[in-house]
């Protein structure tokens, strides 16, 4: 048995405790009670899926889905293959660019879509507890409906949903592991129930489903796995998949078997207050493995026989514990603020000697650039992680996750990216934007653009007042300047081909128009006009060349040349300018 | 052992308790020897009360239970230096639960000012019936009169009670602990079969005030009453009370052949215990968080020192409140064969405390679990024999032992967190001394460090900003740990911390305020006081106010600059009458407090430097805003 290292906190597995808490509370019972009730009333009604909305208390709503036995059999016979379903593309993540749903579940869900849209809007307005439930394919509809509901819920919503399914098959190819939504799903699966394993490779899947598709299924939410002996909760998709695979090879009985989860719950409830086994043997010294081995045994898994790596489970659990440590999070956030203060300081230093920030860094004017770079690296690591985290979440949720920190991310981008550009061109790089720019900058910019609204005239006015303290908005501004310098060189170089000259000329015209646009929007900091800045150096070279522009030019370009030649830039950003 | 069951003689035979196996196996390791030596310590020694007093308290508590109308009986045994106040009991449903499901209410903080969390600022929750009845007893005045007499006699006050009376004893003890003067010997409390009285914060506050050792709770292994508060008010509840109530027609009658009452209580106990175990074990499943919206758990939790009686003469002592909760559930778990018998024992064991204790205290077969929670043997045949024997006697499964280990583990983690923070103290002091230097330098510039920092012109300002953020990082981590109960309960009661927090707050908060107003965050976010003030300062202020027993808001001197900034931003001379009136009031108030604060030395003189924002603003104030004598005092401060 592994010895616990001194600096590590002891780890426990709470799979059994969470499961027992669930079965001893009345939550699952309350959900289950409605299902047989609805199923009984079914024969009288013609429609294939029954929906019931019930209010056991004013603060609680229960929504139950029950497909009729015929329509269940019908849908199941359609097969277990995955069908692309663009309506659920709000679940897309980086790892899952398009969402596919099990055909059987879709067969029942699609005809209900309009009806459920109405129900969704109605429930969205409610406050309090909302339990959404169903058995087998009824549970699949419940899950789909819950996802549908979550996609339209905003942060302020006072509705608290939980989806509880009983013996439902896997639904789709998307995961929710990195999503807050994962906490809204609880799936009960008995080791006696053939349905949940139906679409797995070893299960008795219908002939249309292929093996590769079957392995594309991803479990999400928490699974309450139960056997005669007891129960345990797991939310690791790989382990759940493993359990289902094991169960599918061992479960007996045909698809006609309808498992009575009511009976199973009664048994589990009683077991939860009965004395568990007292294990014998010296080997149980490590609490995590002692706990997990007992829990696995309870649900019929033998780690040795079924090839379960306890060490791996322990490591995953430890990583997760570490990741969810909020206190160290607070420390980290303050450390990033310190990094930013250093950069602000650098900017201030540049301002004090009447230089621009970009130029100072590119030419290493203060001999502290190495230290600054160290702070930049800290920041970049942090923001790359944040961006990656946002990308792992379903699109819709990722967007609301971002709003909290997008402002800080934008300040970071405007502060740090110019310095990255400086290093790049100093080392002789070319075409930063297309060849070098980091993905996280691109996403930060894209998200900012998506969230930004065009400024009102008042806002533009206040920007005008404050432009001297603002950062240049386009974090790639200096890359454009560097490219302009290179173009200018090609243009003046006697050895350049006519083609190169023409493209350089065009680039410079575009650049002039671009700068003018930035100036009009008060989007660049006045520091770019400081003497000796890269921009002014470029202008020095360029203005000689364009003494008499020969080609026809756009109005904006002419405005730009005029703005520069007349020296109006000298008063840009000063509040007294009309 | 004498088993006594009212009105039901046929069940008096019980096969459960094992004979008394005394096991003195010697162990090789010195650590275990040390533990065995400790194990050998008598209960009386350990809790500093003689066995004679404990026995006396038990018999008085049982006697008082039926004392017929008097709220308590007072016993001053000859030859003992204690006076025992034993509280009467009650079986009336109204005295147990005012309203379903759990009958709880916020603690009355005017009578019990300490019963809340300080930094997190949450008031403890207590059983409303217990509180109401206790206040009724207080209103009769005789309790306070008698206690005063006993204190004057230099006797140790000991409150005791059995069952419902135990709840009164607990509240009485707390009441006199709150009132106690510094030189007064604080009261003690011994309870027998007590129901749970308060919630997690209740226990936290008691431990923070270091009162925990004053409370000793004896609990028989299967006694249902110590568990009853974990269960919502129900028919089963009533049945249990009726069974014990001599005036009820169901008195002593076996309640239900199907054990419904026992299953009901145990199921609720299981929910609470497994819920807490998930937290102890650091459960990371996000479902747990969502479940709080759906599952209504009892708020009540154990506190103080629990002494479990195994039923075969052994005693198990546990102080860790999380471990005590797990014990309450796991020691009373059913074994399927003996289910009916256990349910019966859960009732009659409530009534045998005096006899059981006489026997157990005579034997002195005691195990102290707190010393070794994290190393409890997980299997029934390993570890120190004496520990394993009692764990087996209490029927603790491997699952239960894991929960106890997790409880011990959490407490140790809290201690490690505290040690980590203590390691940071030096760093905090270093940064504070840098900022002190910055403050002094500001004074020589006739500007003050607040205004210097706000302008951010010099390298020194930038360095101060880095120091500010380094300190913020350290303190924010502390606050986050407090919010998540990851520090020992006594943490906020440590003088050194309160002092350091106060130094920090007075020196550094002005910088946060300067930063806030420099970046004009008040324009789009709101005032510093309502929207911008970091928790680290709010907490530190509450620590000091609590230690000084001052009302909330009393120690707001570190927010001086925020008030000045807000007053500056209200334009003078506009015609809005009411606004001007409040402004006038606020300004006069501020001037008064400024003088107090400077005289107290809790506000630096830098605020009255010629170049400071405050002085500049103050000089522009029209004369009607100033009042004497404050105005001339401030003028003196500025020029003196």
Q: What is each CA distance from B604 to A331, B439, B458, B510, B609, in whole angstroms?
A: 29, 9, 22, 11, 10
The winner for highest mean pLDDT among A348-362, B89-103, B187-201, B524-538 is B187-201
CA distances to A102, A502, A539, A566, A569 from A555, rounded to whole Å, are: 58, 20, 19, 16, 18
Angle at CA of residue A157, ends A154 and A162, nearest 5°: 100
Are A534 and A481 within 8 A, CB to CB?
Answer: yes
Question: Which residues sit opposite B219 in a β-bridge?
Answer: B308
Question: Which of the pair, B52 or B13, is modelled with greater confidence?
Answer: B52
Rounded distance between C-alpha atoms, residue A66 and residue B464, angstroms: 65
pTM (predicted TM-score): 0.89
Separation between Cα atoms, residue A405 and residue B484, nearest integer Å: 23
Per the model's pLDDT, the better-predicted residue between A331 and A119 turns out to be A119
CA distance B281 to B335: 25
Q: Which residue from A316, A188, A200, A183 is spatially nearest to A249, judged by alpha carbons?
A: A200
| Helix/strand/coil for A400 | helix
B545-556: average pLDDT = 90
Asked whether the beta carbons of A218 and A174 are under 8 A apart, the reply is yes
The answer, yes or no, to whether residue B568 has pLDDT greater than 90, is no
Does the ipTM exceed 0.90? no
Omega before B152 within 30 of 0, i.e. cis: no
Confirm if A246 and A306 have CB atoms less than 8 A apart. Answer: yes
Nearest CA distance, A486 vs chain B (angstrom): 37
Long-range contacts of A505-512 (CB under 8 A, 24+ apart): A505/A551, A507/A483, A508/A484, A508/A542, A509/A551, A509/A553, A509/A554, A509/A557, A511/A480, A511/A483, A511/A484, A511/A487, A512/A556, A512/A557, A512/A560, A512/A561
The single residue of B114, B350, B372, B393 carrying the catalytic annotation is B350
Does B268 touch chain A if contact means CB atoms closer than 8 Å? Answer: yes
| DSSP string for residues in A171-219 | -BS---TTSGGGGGEEEEEETT-SGGGTTSTTS---TT--HHHHTT---
Assigned token pair, A33: 């009670």
- Distance between CA A501 and CA B480 in Å, rounded? 61
The B156-162 sheet, strands edge to edge = B72-75, B82-87, B156-162, B188-192, B215-220, B305-309, B314-318, B365-368
B294–A27 CB contact, under 8 Å: yes
Which long-range contacts does B387-391 make (Cβ < 8 Å, 24+ apart)? Answer: B387/B39, B389/B21, B389/B23, B390/B310, B390/B314, B390/B316
Query: Among A285, A321, A338, whose Cβ lies nearest the Cβ of B469?
Result: A338
Residues in chain B: 640
Closest CA to A28 of A166, A160, A139, A136: A166
Q: What is the pLDDT of residue B400?
A: 94
Q: Are A23 and A41 in contact (CB under 8 A)?
A: no
Distance from CA of B443 to the nearest CA of A (A): 23
* Of B67 and A560, more confident: A560
Which residues in A103-173 belong to E strands, given as ranges?
128-135, 159-166
Whether the Cβ atoms of residue A134 and residue A69 lie closer than 8 Å to each other:
no
A547-561, B79-93, B117-131, B154-168: the lowest-pLDDT one? A547-561
Greatest mean pLDDT among A274-278, A457-461, B94-98:
B94-98
Which of A174-183, A386-395, B20-29, B243-252 shows the lowest per-residue confidence on average (mean pLDDT)? B20-29
Render pLDDT for B478-498 as a digit per residue (tens, 0 to 9): 999 999 999 999 999 999 999
For residue A466, CA distances in Å to A412, A525, B501 come to 19, 10, 37
Query: Does B472 have pLDDT greater than 70?
Result: yes
Contacts with A, B 292-351, CB within 8 Å: 293-295, 297, 333-336
Max mean pLDDT among A275-279, A315-319, B383-387, B471-475 falls in B471-475
Are the C-beta atoms of residues A232 and A297 closer than 8 Å to each other?
Answer: no
Mean pLDDT confidence for A186-194: 92
Burial class for A5, CB neighbours closer than 10 Å (0-12, 13-18, 19+): exposed
More confident residue, B5 or A347: A347
Q: In the predicted model, is pLDDT for residue A547 greater than 70?
A: no
Q: How far apart are CA B163 and CA B331, in angstroms?
A: 19
pLDDT at residue number B28: 43
Q: For chain A, state the CA radius of gyration.
A: 31
**According to the model, what pLDDT value does residue B256 have?**
64
Could you tell me if B487 and B417 are in contact, meaning their C-beta atoms sit under 8 angstroms apart?
yes
Nearest-angstrom CA–CA distance, B474 and B526: 26
Give the residue from chain B lying closest to A59, CA to CA: B294
Closest CA to A383 of A443, A338, A334, A425: A443
Confidence band, pLDDT 50/70/90 cuts, at residue A282: low
Q: In angstroms, rounded to a whole number, what is the distance separating the alpha carbons of residues B361 and B42?
A: 8
- Structural contact between residues B201 and B106, judged by C-beta atoms closer than 8 angstroms: no
Residue B268 among the catalytic residues: no
Whole-angstrom distance, CA of residue A405 vs CA of residue A444: 10
Helix (H, G, I), strand (E, B) or coil at A91: helix
With CB atoms and an 8 Å threshold, state whether A221 touches B287: yes
pLDDT at B19: 33
pLDDT value, residue A375 = 94
Q: Do B293 and A162 touch (CB under 8 A)?
A: yes
Q: Which of B223, B276, B354, B451 is catalytic?
A: B223
Contacts of A320 in chain B (CB under 8 A): 284
Q: Among all chains, which residue has been given the structure tokens 């230089």?
A: A355
Tell me the pLDDT band of B608, cut-offs 50, 70 and 90: confident
B39 pLDDT band, cuts 50/70/90, is low
Q: How many Cα atoms occupy the beta-carbon half-sphere of A506 within 13 Å? A: 5
Q: What is the DSSP string of B328-394?
A: HHHTT-B-GGGHHHHHHHHHHGGG-HHHHHHHHHHHTEEEE-GGGGGG--SSTT-S-HHHHHHHHHT
B350 given a catalytic annotation: yes
Alpha-carbon distances, residue A421 vs A441, A443, A448 (angstroms)? 12, 17, 20
Structure tokens belonging to residue B415: 């201690």
**C-beta of residue B213 within 8 angstroms of C-beta of residue B206:** no
Structure tokens belonging to residue B218: 């004896």
The closest CB to that of A284, out of B278, B378, B397, belongs to: B378
Interface test with A, best of B18, B289, B290 (most A CBs within 10 A): B290
* Terminal-to-terminal C-alpha distance of chain B: 82
- Minimum mean pLDDT range among A201-205, A513-517, B263-267, B394-398: A201-205
pLDDT bin (cut points 50, 70, 90) of residue A425 is: very high
pLDDT score for B634: 86
Q: Say how many C-beta atoms besides its own lie within 10 A of residue B268's C-beta.
A: 26
CB-based contact, A162 to chain B, within 8 Å? yes
Sequence-distant contacts of B137-141: CB under 8 A, at least 24 apart: B137/B71, B137/B72, B137/B87, B137/B168, B137/B172, B138/B175, B140/B71
Please, which pLDDT band fits residue B10 given cuts at 50, 70 and 90?
very low
pLDDT, tens only, B292-323: 989 999 999 999 999 999 988 899 999 999 99
Mean pLDDT of chain B: 87
Question: Of the candidates A193, A187, A270, which has an alpha carbon nearest to the alpha carbon of residue A227?
Answer: A193
* Residues 459-518, chain B, touching A (beta carbon < 8 A): 459, 462, 465-466, 469-470, 472-474, 476-477, 479-481, 484, 486
Mark which residues 321-360 of A lie under 8 Å from B by CB: 321, 324, 326-331, 333-335, 337-338, 341-342, 344-345, 348
Going by C-alpha positions, the residue among A394, A69, A21, A37 that lies closest to residue A186 is: A21
Tens digit of each residue's pLDDT (9 = 90 or more) over A434-443: 999 999 999 9
pLDDT at B60: 95
């Amino acid at each position: 048995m592994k010895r616990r290292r001194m600096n590590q906190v002891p780890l426990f597995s709470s799979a059994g405790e969470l499961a027992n808490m669930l079965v001893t509370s009345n939550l699952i019972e309350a959900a289950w009670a409605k299902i047989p009730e609805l199923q009984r009333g079914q024969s009288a009604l013609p429609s294939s899926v029954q929906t019931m909305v019930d209010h056991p208390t004013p603060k609680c709503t229960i929504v139950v889905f029950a497909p009729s036995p015929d329509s269940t059999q019908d849908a199941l016979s359609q097969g277990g293959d995955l069908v692309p379903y663009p309506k659920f593309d709000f679940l897309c993540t980086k790892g899952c660019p398009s969402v596919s749903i099990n055909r059987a579940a879709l067969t029942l869900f699609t005809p209900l879509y309009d009806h459920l849209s109405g129900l969704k809007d109605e429930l969205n307005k409610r406050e309090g507890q909302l339990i959404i439930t169903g058995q087998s394919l009824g549970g699949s509809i419940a899950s789909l409906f819950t996802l549908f509901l979550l996609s339209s819920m905003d942060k302020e919503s006072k509705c608290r949903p939980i989806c509880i399914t009983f013996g439902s098959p896997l639904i789709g190819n998307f995961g929710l592991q990195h999503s807050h939504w994962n906490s809204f799903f609880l799936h009960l699966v008995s080791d006696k129930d053939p349905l949940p394993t139906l679409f797995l490779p070893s299960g008795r899947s219908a002939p249309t489903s292929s093996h590769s598709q079957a392995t594309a299924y991803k479990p999400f939410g928490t699974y309450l796995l139960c056997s005669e002996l007891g129960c345990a909760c797991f939310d690791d998709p790989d382990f759940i998949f493993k359990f289902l695979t094991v169960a599918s090879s061992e479960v007996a009985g045909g698809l006609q078997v309808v498992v009575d989860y009511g009976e199973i719950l009664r048994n589990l409830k009683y077991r939860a207050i009965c004395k568990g086994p007292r294990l014998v043997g010296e080997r149980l010294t490590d609490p995590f493995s002692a706990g997990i081995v007992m829990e696995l045994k309870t649900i019929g898994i033998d780690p040795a026989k079924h090839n379960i790596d306890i060490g791996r489970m322990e490591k995953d659990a430890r990583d997760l514990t570490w990741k969810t440590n909020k206190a160290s999070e607070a420390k980290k956030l303050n450390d990033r603020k310190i990094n930013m203060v250093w950069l602000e300081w650098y900017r201030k230093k540049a301002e004090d000697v009447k230089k621009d920030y970009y130029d100072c860094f590119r030419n290493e004017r203060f001999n502290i650039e190495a230290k600054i770079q160290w702070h930049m690296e800290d920041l970049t690591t942090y923001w790359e992680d944040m961006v990656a985290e946002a990308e792992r979440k379903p699109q819709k949720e990722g967007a609301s996750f971002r709003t909290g920190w997008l402002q800080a991310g934008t300040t970071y981008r405007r502060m740090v990216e110019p310095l990255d550009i400086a290093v790049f061109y100093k080392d002789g790089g070319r075409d930063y934007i297309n060849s070098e720019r980091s993905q996280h900058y691109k996403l930060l910019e894209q998200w900012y653009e998506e969230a930004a609204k065009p400024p009102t005239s008042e806002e533009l006015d206040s920007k005008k007042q404050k432009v001297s303290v603002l950062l240049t908005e386009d974090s790639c501004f200096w890359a454009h300047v560097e490219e302009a310098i290179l173009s200018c060189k090609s243009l003046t170089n006697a050895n350049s081909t006519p083609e190169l000259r023409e493209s350089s000329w065009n680039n410079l015209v575009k650049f002039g128009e671009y700068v003018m646009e930035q100036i009009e929007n008060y989007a660049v900091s006045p520091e770019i006009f400081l003497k000796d800045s890269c921009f002014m150096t470029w202008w020095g070279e360029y203005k000689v060349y364009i003494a008499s522009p020969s080609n026809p030019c756009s109005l904006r370009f002419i405005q730009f040349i005029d703005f520069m030649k007349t020296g109006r830039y000298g008063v840009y950003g000063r509040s007294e300018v009309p | 052992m004498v088993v006594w069951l009212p009105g039901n003689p046929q069940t008096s035979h019980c096969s459960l308790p094992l004979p008394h196996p005394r096991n003195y196996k010697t162990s090789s390791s010195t650590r275990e020897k040390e533990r065995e030596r400790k194990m050998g310590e008598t209960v009386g020694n350990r809790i500093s009360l003689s066995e004679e007093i404990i026995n006396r308290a038990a018999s008085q508590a049982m006697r008082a239970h039926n004392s017929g109308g008097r709220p308590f009986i007072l016993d001053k045994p000859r030859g003992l230096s204690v006076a025992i106040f034993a509280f009467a009991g009650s079986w009336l449903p109204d005295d147990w639960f005012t309203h379903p499901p759990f009958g709880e209410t916020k603690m009355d903080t005017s009578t019990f000012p300490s019963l809340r969390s300080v930094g997190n600022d949450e008031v403890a929750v207590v059983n409303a019936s217990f509180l109401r009845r206790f206040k009724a007893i207080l209103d009769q005045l005789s309790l306070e009169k008698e206690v005063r007499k006993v204190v004057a006699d230099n006797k140790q006050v000991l409150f005791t009670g059995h069952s419902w009376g135990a709840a009164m004893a607990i509240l009485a003890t707390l009441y006199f602990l709150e009132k106690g003067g510094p030189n007064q010997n604080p009261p003690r409390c011994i309870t027998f079969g007590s129901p749970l009285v308060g919630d997690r914060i209740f226990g936290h506050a008691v431990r923070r005030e270091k009162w925990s050792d004053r409370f000793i709770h004896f609990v028989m292994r299967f006694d249902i009453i110590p568990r009853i508060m974990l269960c919502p008010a129900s028919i089963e509840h009533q049945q249990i009370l009726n069974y014990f109530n001599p005036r009820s027609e169901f008195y002593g009658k076996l309640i239900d052949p199907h054990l419904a009452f026992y299953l009901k209580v145990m199921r609720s106990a299981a929910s609470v215990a497994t819920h807490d175990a998930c937290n102890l074990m650091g459960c990371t499943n996000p479902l747990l968080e969502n479940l709080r919206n759906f599952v209504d758990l009892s708020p009540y939790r154990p506190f103080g020192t629990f002494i479990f009686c195994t039923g075969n003469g052994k005693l198990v002592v546990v102080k860790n409140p999380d471990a005590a909760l797990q014990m309450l559930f796991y020691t009373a778990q059913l074994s399927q064969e003996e289910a009916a018998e256990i349910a019966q024992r859960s009732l009659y064991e409530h009534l045998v405390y005096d006899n059981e204790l006489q026997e157990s205290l005579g034997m002195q077969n005691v195990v102290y679990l707190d010393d070794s929670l994290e190393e409890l043997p997980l299997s029934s045949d390993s570890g120190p024999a004496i520990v394993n024997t009692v764990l087996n006697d209490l029927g603790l499964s491997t699952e239960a032992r894991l929960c106890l280990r997790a409880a011990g583990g959490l407490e140790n983690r809290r201690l490690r967190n505290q040690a980590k923070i203590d390691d940071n103290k030096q760093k905090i002091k270093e940064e504070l001394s840098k900022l002190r230097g910055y403050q002094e330098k500001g004074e020589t510039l006739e500007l003050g460090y607040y205004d210097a920092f706000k302008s951010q012109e010099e390298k020194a300002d930038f360095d101060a900003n880095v120091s500010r953020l380094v300190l913020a990082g350290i303190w924010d981590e502390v606050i986050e740990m407090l919010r998540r109960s990851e520090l020992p309960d006594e943490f906020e009661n440590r003088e050194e911390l309160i002092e350091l927090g106060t130094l920090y707050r007075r020196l550094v908060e002005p910088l946060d305020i300067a930063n806030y107003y420099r970046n004009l965050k008040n324009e789009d976010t709101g005032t510093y006081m309502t929207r911008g003030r970091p928790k680290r300062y709010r907490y530190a202020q509450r620590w000091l106010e609590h230690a000084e027993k001052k009302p909330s808001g009393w120690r707001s001197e570190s927010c001086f600059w925020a008030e000045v900034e807000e007053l500056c931003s209200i334009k003078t001379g506009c015609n809005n009458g009411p606004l001007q009136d409040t402004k006038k009031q606020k300004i006069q108030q501020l001037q008064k407090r400024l003088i107090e604060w400077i005289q107290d030395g809790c506000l630096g003189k830098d605020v009255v430097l010629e170049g400071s924002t405050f002085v500049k603003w103050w000089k522009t104030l029209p004369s009607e805003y100033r009042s004497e004598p404050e105005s001339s005092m401030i003028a003196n401060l500025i020029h003196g």
